[in-house]
Amino acid sequence: ISIRGYTQMRYNGILDSSSYNDTYAYGDRSVGPRQNFFLRRARLIFSGDISDHLYLYTQFDLASSPSGTFSSSASNIGYAAPNFWGFYNQQIGSYNLNAGNFAQMRDAYADISIDDKKEFRFRVGQSKIPYGFTNMQSSQNRLTLDRPDAINTAQKDERDLGIFFYYTPEHMRHLFRDLVKNNLKGTGDYGMFAFGAYNGQGANRVELNKGVHLVARLTYPYVFANGQVVEASVQGYTGRFVPATSGIRPSLGMGTNWAGYIPNQFPWANSKGYNSPFATSSYLPFVNGPGYNNLYNNFNVANYNDTTVNFAAACVNGCNGLKDERVAVTGVIYPQPFGVFAEWNWGQGPSLDPYQFTIKSSKLNGGYVLVTYKYEDKDFGLGTFFPYVQWQQYRGGAKTETNAPVDRVNELEAGIEWQPLPEIELTAAYAHMNRTNLALAPYRQWQGDLLRMQLQWNY
Amino acid sequence: ISIRGYTQMRYNGILDSSSYNDTYAYGDRSVGPRQNFFLRRARLIFSGDISDHLYLYTQFDLASSPSGTFSSSASNIGYAAPNFWGFYNQQIGSYNLNAGNFAQMRDAYADISIDDKKEFRFRVGQSKIPYGFTNMQSSQNRLTLDRPDAINTAQKDERDLGIFFYYTPEHMRHLFRDLVKNNLKGTGDYGMFAFGAYNGQGANRVELNKGVHLVARLTYPYVFANGQVVEASVQGYTGRFVPATSGIRPSLGMGTNWAGYIPNQFPWANSKGYNSPFATSSYLPFVNGPGYNNLYNNFNVANYNDTTVNFAAACVNGCNGLKDERVAVTGVIYPQPFGVFAEWNWGQGPSLDPYQFTIKSSKLNGGYVLVTYKYEDKDFGLGTFFPYVQWQQYRGGAKTETNAPVDRVNELEAGIEWQPLPEIELTAAYAHMNRTNLALAPYRQWQGDLLRMQLQWNY
Amino acid sequence: ISIRGYTQMRYNGILDSSSYNDTYAYGDRSVGPRQNFFLRRARLIFSGDISDHLYLYTQFDLASSPSGTFSSSASNIGYAAPNFWGFYNQQIGSYNLNAGNFAQMRDAYADISIDDKKEFRFRVGQSKIPYGFTNMQSSQNRLTLDRPDAINTAQKDERDLGIFFYYTPEHMRHLFRDLVKNNLKGTGDYGMFAFGAYNGQGANRVELNKGVHLVARLTYPYVFANGQVVEASVQGYTGRFVPATSGIRPSLGMGTNWAGYIPNQFPWANSKGYNSPFATSSYLPFVNGPGYNNLYNNFNVANYNDTTVNFAAACVNGCNGLKDERVAVTGVIYPQPFGVFAEWNWGQGPSLDPYQFTIKSSKLNGGYVLVTYKYEDKDFGLGTFFPYVQWQQYRGGAKTETNAPVDRVNELEAGIEWQPLPEIELTAAYAHMNRTNLALAPYRQWQGDLLRMQLQWNY
């Protein structure tokens, strides 16, 4: 069993933002108000061939944080010191300093190969879902700092728990390996053909609806006579997803700059008295899907004098999950030296409706185009440079976030990855973001410019 | 320092259950409603001889989850969307998708041997308690998917923090090693004689009562002339345990199908006004044991005008803990090829009383018989097969669970473990369970049939 | 990449305490009521030279616990069973047994050396702050069980995330290495000159104020002709720190035995009616520093009919942080065989005011003197002994604790570290402590005597 890994340290400078406190990016928690240095990933990987038929891969991340830790959001908002003690400006909220950075599983899988040439494999355990080139490509090799939302929202942390079958002809296995080894930004071997069944709620998440997601992928890399490699893929998945919910105060304008608007005549604008359903100001969004209607099965309620006692955690609606399915196409020209990576996907998935009152399955689509050029400096020994430009767009629900808010993204990023040594990479990028703040209702849109930097060391 | 480990992936199919939402097993969280694939264990072990006198063993599990994560129970029950928006069936509760699977300590101990033959050892740190063959046997080697409740409820996660003394004659040490190495399902070396002192609240739990638990064990493995090995053991422990509590609404029928019954004439059936002790509907069970009666020692209450301020976390009753002691007998015929594993224990421990109002030390007993046959297929090279049948029973408190509810278990399991390769094990079992749902008041009984499957890879 | 580490198991016997329930020490959670065996540290370190220019150091601790676990404090205080069921003494509070001991990052850094002799290095990632000899010295090598508060309160867990520059002449690098290797209790190489910029909120804590802390240090070790080594250092840091807050009931006497006093005539002594700011009994301490006054920027409040909705987590006051700066001097005579370690620091930092109503930057100072003698037993082969005496004092805020209470410490500790083998260390010490209970308002002072023991195994 060999040990390897990599660590990414970041700094995101907010040059300009239409709403500083709403600054947010799906893939990087340090794109936000008052942030500074940030450890995005600190990985340790234990892997190796255990026998001719078993290959082990276990990876964890030391820069992960359990819920309740590492939060830069204020709590107790409004619960502040009395203002007549001479403090002119009230204080907004309090912060905790609960420590994060705990080791969390990323991968824990075994490749069990059936034949001696290892062309046919079953991959069992938690591993990456074979959906989307950018998802399968390791963050260690990716040019841009974050994966594009359009593809990345398909699967939380790109991984899930299940059983996958991969078929890769032997010569193609060597090609997939070389595309990574030769610094051409490949994905590694996820099969020429892949098929899998998995829980579907995301990596390290508990299953909630018993149903599996099914995924399939077909890819074909082609090597031209001059050595140039191109790859085309098609992939899709289908299943049902149970979104997480928490109480919000419904308002209009989600995904726009005027999010939070509550017209006076709306019934939830004001309390209507103690017995009104609007007496409190926040509601759980209603997950509008089928459920297990068996709260009281095997149970004669009439024998008991208080039906308000909840005898078991049941779910009458929604916990069968909402339809969640996508199909994506991928086209790649590997950077020898000029490279293009492009993907687009369409489908439907859980999404909060514009009234912020129900979550249902809605249409989505989005993708990206990334253009790069690989320049190896032989004259001065400065190493390898990858200048790049990426444009991405997405419009659809962010099922992996609480209440599955609508995510509207349009982003342009231009940057350069510099590898002065094989084990050190420095990336600097300028990004113009137009994004929804998915972290906090009413889910406002913000626009801004960032100077992003990352130092990565490989080991 | 060498690295090894194993991972277990499971699937539990509920064929039939008298109460689907109460489906629960003490040893496997994926025996429950709406579950699917599950990583039960993902272990990494760092061990080795550091010197002639120090042997190190550090193990952690990547499939563990801190409190507040990985919960499949609904929260906010009843706190749903208003039902007049056209949704006929209310929704029951909300779910979170807080990520789990963090690396948690299992073992962190050192064996410090006094003599050169390593017959006399002190084991310091967190390690397994030498109580019960099934507890000491590694899950990597166990046939059944879970340990029997009767023995496993003695100690949360089988481990605790303390100091243990082990004496093993040299030839017996080799025998214990071979019983594992030769795939005979042994425990490894926990001494011919063992004695230890430990905190007693369970692995990775904080100490609450200052008192130690004491444990002692004597085992004797005997090798017949034909090589057949049998082993007999006696073991016992004593101490005081502080149970965890949380508010419940007292009701009758715990551990039966009619759990939750609240007669009309009972005082806690209805509120009796604002000043009534029954004004709220749930109470903390009273831990009926001695305490540290010193809330106000060194403290003159009269000097202060508000005694409702709590100056320190004190405990007037219960926090000395409740009497917790057991004795167990073990008999083992190692599978050469026919094997029998049997254990039974008796004792007393913390247990919620039938009125669900106090927790006190009550009698308990239970055990199991496991019969197996080791079949090594030489003709077709299919590997090794262990068909088995296990019957287990337990009646007593589950001290390690919140409020220490009564656990009534009667379970029959028939299965087969198949080792096609030494590093891969596939287990399939049919189980008829009659168990108490210990996770949720009012602690109902349920009966059901399960098809259980596990894939394990060793590395 | 090589693997090493160490584990520390402790037992703290409280011989005498002026207030048993207030027993508390800044550096050891098992100095407290009703504690027993405790794993203080269980470390695994993955380190090594990846290339000529990159040295990797990744360390995690298996004995760390996320918030919400491993708490020995009672919750639900006062929320007990009705007392008329025949239980004479009410019960105070309930306990949980949420499991702790998860793997948490300590270090994740890379040393990137610029020159071939590795005299000039950049250290990036999370690493120790070069401030205070006792902070930089590994706990594996330290004589006393805990670091002195005066220096240790400068930085939570001694580490933070940032970029550091170190310059060490080559011969001095060898000297720093030998001072550790030869069991002389050195720090290792933190540069003859060091300069760094880091987040400043503490190891594994999220950044809250965007500002960096700056630190600089100059040290000079001198080797006399007879081989005796002495070292003198000066170091300082400056920055702004955002303290964590939670609601407390203000009272007088913090850091004394009469803490908790609330005079009758004080406005917060009693409720003054529903609309009074004193209607509730606890308040958030006001962080009296500058803030980001932009709750409503880019936002026309008039368009919305409810301004109580909080659209983003903003902070009007305090979240720029409070001035936090110190300077320290260090003098060391390495134990060949007689040794002295002494440090003192002065500065200002966040501190709760005596009325427990605001947190502001206040003056602080403190330090310690540690005297030891290294005795290597050659006659009987008993190993190495380090008898020692340490006196420490501190008066100032404990910025790393919730509400930054005043910490008043005067402590005398006499002990002996015994190394019977290089890989095993046993420490026993008698300590007379005079300390503030920083864990719980009203932050009482306690005095007491402890018998402290630690067993450490290195690997």
Preceding omega of B130 cis (within 30 degrees of 0): no
Which residue type sits at B2?
S
Q: How high is the pLDDT of residue B304?
A: 40
Note whether B110 contacts C: Cβ–Cβ < 8 A: yes
Compare all CA atoms of chain A with the CA of C292 and give the residue at the minimum distance.
A34
pLDDT in tens, A291-336: 765 444 444 444 443 434 444 445 667 888 999 999 999 999 999 9
Whether residues B305 and C99 touch (CB distance < 8 A) is answered with no
Note whether B295 contacts C: Cβ–Cβ < 8 A: yes
Q: Which chain A residues contact residue C246 at CB under 8 A?
A: 76, 94, 96
Distance from CA of A284 to the nearest CA of C (A): 16
Segments of chain C with pLDDT less than 70: 76-92, 264-282, 292-316
Preceding omega of A337 cis (within 30 degrees of 0): yes
Nearest to C89 among B162, B205, B316 (CB): B316
B contact residues 114-133, partner C, Cβ 8 Å cutoff: 124-126
Please state, for a pLDDT cut of 70, what percent of chain A lies above it. 86
E strand or H helix that includes residue A322? strand A322-333
- Reported as half-sphere exposure (CB side, CA atoms, 13 A), residue A424 has a value of 22
Neighbors of chain C with 3 or more C-beta pairs under 8 Å: A, B
pLDDT in tens, B229-282: 999 999 999 999 999 998 887 788 899 988 877 776 665 555 443 334 444 456
B contact residues 231-250, partner C, Cβ 8 Å cutoff: 242, 244-247
Q: What average pLDDT does chain A have?
A: 88
- Residue A232, sorted as left (phi over 0), alpha (psi -120 to 50) or beta, turns out to be beta
Which residue out of A37, A60, A70, A450 would a mutagenesis test of the C interface target, given it has the greatest number of C Cβ atoms within 10 Å? Answer: A37
Note whether A430 contacts B: Cβ–Cβ < 8 A: no
| pTM of the predicted protein model | 0.94
Q: Which chain B residues contact residue C46 at CB under 8 A?
A: none
Q: How high is the pLDDT of residue B300?
A: 41
Q: How high is the pLDDT of residue B313?
A: 45
What torsion do the CA atoms of A46, A51, A54, A57 make, to the nearest 10 degrees?
10
Q: Which two tokens stand for residue A233?
A: 């893929």
Distance from CA of A72 to the nearest CA of C (A): 6
Distances (CA, A) of C236 to A175, B199, C147, C362: 55, 43, 18, 17
Closest CA to B46 of C459, A7, A101, A58: C459
Q: How many CB atoms lie within 10 A of CB B409?
A: 24
Average pLDDT of span B316-333: 92
Terminal-residue alpha carbon distance, chain B? 15
Reported confidence tier of residue A288, pLDDT bands at 50, 70, 90: confident
Distances (CA, A) of C75 to B304, C72, C90, C92, C95: 23, 9, 15, 9, 6
- Phi then psi for residue A440, to 5 deg, are -145, 130
Q: How high is the pLDDT of residue B298?
A: 40
- Residue A231 near residue A330, CB atoms below 8 Å: yes
Note whether C211 contacts A: Cβ–Cβ < 8 A: yes
- Reported as half-sphere exposure (CB side, CA atoms, 13 A), residue C183 has a value of 17
- Residue B101 near residue B62, CB atoms below 8 Å: yes
Q: Which chain B residues contact residue C77 at CB under 8 A?
A: 310, 313
CA B73 to chain centroid, in Å, comes to 20
Whether residues B22 and A56 touch (CB distance < 8 A) is answered with no
Nearest to A68 among C67, C108, C284 (CB): C67
Closest CA to C62 of C5, C109, C127: C5
Q: How high is the pLDDT of residue C252?
A: 86
Note whether A9 contacts C: Cβ–Cβ < 8 A: yes
The Cα C153–Cα C326 span in angstroms is: 11
Note whether B228 contacts A: Cβ–Cβ < 8 A: no
The Cα A174–Cα A181 span in angstroms is: 10
pLDDT reading at B27 higher than 90: yes
pLDDT in tens, B384-407: 999 999 999 999 999 999 999 999
Preceding omega of C442 cis (within 30 degrees of 0): yes
Q: Which two tokens stand for residue A175?
A: 């090609």
Note whether A37 contacts C: Cβ–Cβ < 8 A: yes
Q: Which chain B residues contact residue A211 at CB under 8 A?
A: 36
The Cα B289–Cα B164 span in angstroms is: 28
Compare all CA atoms of chain B with the CA of A54 and give the residue at the minimum distance.
B423
Q: Which two tokens stand for residue B256?
A: 């039966």
- Burial bucket for residue A167 (CB in 10 Å: 0-12, 13-18, 19+): middle
Positive or negative torsion for Cα A141, A69, C27, C161:
positive
The Cα B284–Cα C91 span in angstroms is: 9
Whether residues B99 and A305 touch (CB distance < 8 A) is answered with no
Distances (CA, A) of C404 to B273, C275, C324, C357: 42, 29, 12, 11
Compare all CA atoms of chain A with the CA of C245 and give the residue at the minimum distance.
A94
Say which residue, B172 or C312, is predicted with more confidence.
B172
Positive or negative torsion for Cα A79, A83, A87, A88:
positive
Q: Which two tokens stand for residue B86?
A: 């056209």
Note whether B321 contacts C: Cβ–Cβ < 8 A: no
E strand or H helix that includes residue A172? helix A170-181
Distance from CA of C283 to the nearest CA of B (A): 14
The Cα A450–Cα A38 span in angstroms is: 15
Q: How high is the pLDDT of residue A74?
A: 76
Which residue type sits at C81?
A
Q: How high is the pLDDT of residue A279?
A: 41
Q: Which chain B residues contact residue A156 at CB under 8 A?
A: 97
Closest CA to A253 of A241, A243, A242, A266: A266
- Residue A448 near residue A3, CB atoms below 8 Å: no
Q: How many CB atoms lie within 10 A of CB A261?
A: 15
Nearest to C99 among B205, B209, B299 (CB): B205
Compare all CA atoms of chain A with the CA of B83 and give the residue at the minimum distance.
A277
Note whether A438 contacts B: Cβ–Cβ < 8 A: no
- Residue B133 near residue B367, CB atoms below 8 Å: no
DSSP one-letter string for C102-157: EEEEEEEEEEEESSTT--EEEEEEEEE-S--HHHHS-TTT-SSSS--HHHHTTSGG
Nearest to B112 among C34, C260, C424 (CB): C424
CA B257 to chain centroid, in Å, comes to 24
pLDDT in tens, B90-135: 666 788 899 999 999 999 999 999 999 999 999 999 999 999 999 9
The Cα B428–Cα B11 span in angstroms is: 10
Note whether C79 contacts B: Cβ–Cβ < 8 A: yes
Closest CA to C368 of C143, C138, C155, C106: C143
Compare all CA atoms of chain B with the CA of C446 and give the residue at the minimum distance.
B298
E strand or H helix that includes residue C180? helix C170-181
Which residue type sits at B116?
D
- Residue C102 near residue B335, CB atoms below 8 Å: no
Note whether C77 contacts B: Cβ–Cβ < 8 A: yes
The Cα C207–Cα C205 span in angstroms is: 6
Distance from CA of A16 to the nearest CA of B (A): 32
Note whether A375 contacts B: Cβ–Cβ < 8 A: no
Neighbouring residues of C413: CB distance < 8 A, sequence distance ≥ 6: C144, C389, C390, C391, C392, C429, C430, C431, C432, C452
- Reported as half-sphere exposure (CB side, CA atoms, 13 A), residue C166 has a value of 26
pLDDT in tens, B150-160: 999 999 999 99
Q: Which chain B residues contact residue A113 at CB under 8 A?
A: none
Nearest to C262 among B207, B304, B314 (CB): B304
Answer yes or no: is the ipTM higher than 0.90. yes
E strand or H helix that includes residue A3? strand A2-17
A contact residues 181-210, partner B, Cβ 8 Å cutoff: 198-199, 201-210
CA C300 to chain centroid, in Å, comes to 44
- Residue B67 near residue B51, CB atoms below 8 Å: no
Terminal-residue alpha carbon distance, chain A? 15
Q: How high is the pLDDT of residue B440?
A: 84
B contact residues 349-368, partner C, Cβ 8 Å cutoff: 357-358
Whether residues B205 and C455 touch (CB distance < 8 A) is answered with no
DSSP lists the bridge partners of residue A104 as A61, B102
Report the SS3 class of residue C20. helix
Note whether C256 contacts A: Cβ–Cβ < 8 A: no
Q: Which chain B residues contact residue A108 at CB under 8 A?
A: 7, 39, 42, 62-63
The Cα A1–Cα B1 span in angstroms is: 12
Which residue out of A18, A30, A31, A36 would a mutagenesis test of the C interface target, given it has the greatest number of C Cβ atoms within 10 Å? Answer: A36
Q: How many CB atoms lie within 10 A of CB B302?
A: 7
Note whether B19 contacts A: Cβ–Cβ < 8 A: yes
Q: How high is the pLDDT of residue A217?
A: 98
- Residue B198 near residue B129, CB atoms below 8 Å: yes
pLDDT in tens, C92-106: 678 889 999 999 999
- Phi then psi for residue C172, to 5 deg, are -75, -30
Closest CA to C156 of C275, C247, C250, C244: C244
Average pLDDT of span B39-59: 96
Neighbors of chain A with 3 or more C-beta pairs under 8 Å: B, C
Distance from CA of C163 to the nearest CA of A (A): 9
DSSP B158: G
Can you tell me which residue has the tokens 């990576």? A341
Neighbouring residues of C123: CB distance < 8 A, sequence distance ≥ 6: C109, C110, C111, C112, C163, C164, C165, C166, C196
Which residue out of A204, A276, A360 would a mutagenesis test of the B interface target, given it has the greatest number of B Cβ atoms within 10 Å? Answer: A204
